[in-house]
Chain A
């Protein structure tokens, strides 16, 4: 469970988030939407402790993140699988090695890691491309490699920032279905996107941010 409690984040006199209260239940799948600059990216950055709130606190499974010391931040981040809009794949290594990265970090043995990597690639339908360099894959395939990397270490939470931003509607739909499949096996999924027609086809909660607040939330 992820709880934002009166979270604000100011940059100078600009408020990216204002007194945000938000709860995402364990095992839930939710879409986070809103205009550019509505605070989606800030919210995700705060959740991943890439940034700290100006006030308020974020609790993950009841544990306040403000209590997490910087030394423990990497371990905290490993509880999340992160999918980026631009995939952020490393083109100096194979698909397999890209996906294996979180496992190498977590200290898995090479054989154990290889087994998990193949399982993850199989789930996203890219097992035949295991030894390929991701640079030669299509945009949709690259995004699926990114998803495989996000889920390979079996994280509690799957966070995606505009994962379908560069994809055509059909590929986007496939990617969303993939997230849904992971949600069905118990992963809490939060997808930031502004593709409203796409997410309206899925029956999940839509969280809309407007100028750093939940849309419809009372202005204090």
Chain B
């Protein structure tokens, strides 16, 4: 019973963190995008575009720039879309010259928006496109989920502690007579406490083992559909079950909780006993 209570309390937040661990690799780079696309006005010729590029390179916030000429862009666009034939029939190239700007690190949100604003204010610049918004959203969503997981985890761990404390209190109370005798004939608190610490360790570590087992079974069970989903999204990834380190961490966490709880529970009990 206690094992199960501890196991569930550890497995739920564990499952949540495991899910996040599995989502992380799907987000290729959680840093801000390395590039800002600057669309120049259609009236700008190549020399003017090159002059703009030379100016941008001198900025402290710009690490590097690449000029994409309008004919290059058209060729690539035609190739990627298979519309080359259609495009050649156009009487003029509708695409402008463009600059790919790499901001200097660190690429924080504020630094990036300042840079975008500054570039946008230059004459000859039509539009500045930052492909970062969806990433910021995903990033924040992951962060929120992680915090939610941690909060839930904290609540569940508190539940585990209460279950452990109750059991340990009963275990200690069942040996009240022995504690009283041993205290009078010179047993140190450490000596009296030792068996209860082992009891706490036993319940906590056992709960950790059970939690690891639960997560392992869970990950096996959902592996089929989730892996299929990965394939559908074109991701080469595969679901990662709880590794050995993960399970060991769960056991260590359970054991630590058990040990600590029994230490506190026995200290409270002894204090009450001494007060009598």
Contacts and interface: CB of A to CB of B under 8 A. Distances in A.
Interface of A: 48, 50, 74-82, 88, 90, 92, 101-102, 105-106, 149-150
A102 B191 CA distance: 11
B186 interface: yes
A36 B191 CA distance: 34
A81 B187 CA distance: 12
A74 B181 contact: no
Given A74-B186, A82-B185, A149-B185, A105 B180 contact: no
Contacts of A77: 184-186
B178 A90 contact: yes
Interface string B4-29: 00000000000000000000000000
Contact of B184 (A82, A90, A106): A82
Q: How large is the interface on B (under 10, 10 to 19, 20 to 34, 35 or more residues)?
A: 10 to 19
27 contacts: A48-B184, A50-B184, A74-B186, A74-B187, A74-B189, A74-B191, A75-B186, A77-B184, A78-B185, A78-B186, A80-B185, A80-B186, A81-B185, A82-B184, A82-B185, A88-B177, A88-B180, A88-B181, A90-B177, A90-B178, A90-B181, A101-B181, A102-B186, A105-B185, A105-B187, A105-B188, A149-B185
Contacts of B182: 101, 105
Contacts of A78: 185-186
B181 A105 contact: no
Nearest to A78: B186
Contacts of B184: 48, 50, 77, 82
| Most A-side CB within 10 Å, residue of B177, B182, B184 | B184
Contacts of B188: 74-75, 105
A79 B186 CA distance: 8
B177 A102 contact: no
B185 A102 contact: yes
Contacts of A149: 185
Given A78-B185, A101-B185, 10 more contacts: A74-B191, A77-B186, A82-B184, A82-B185, A88-B177, A101-B181, A101-B182, A105-B186, A105-B188, A105-B191
A88 B178 CA distance: 8
Nearest to A44: B184
A92 B175 CA distance: 10
A79 B185 CA distance: 9
A163 to B, nearest CB: 14
A149 B186 CA distance: 12
A88 B133 CA distance: 74
Nearest to B174: A92
Nearest to A87: B181
Contacts of A80: 185-186
Nearest to B191: A105
| Most A-side CB within 10 Å, residue of B180, B185, B187, B189 | B185
Nearest to B187: A105
Contacts of A150: 185
Contacts of B185: 77-78, 80-82, 101-102, 105, 149-150
A48 B177 CA distance: 18
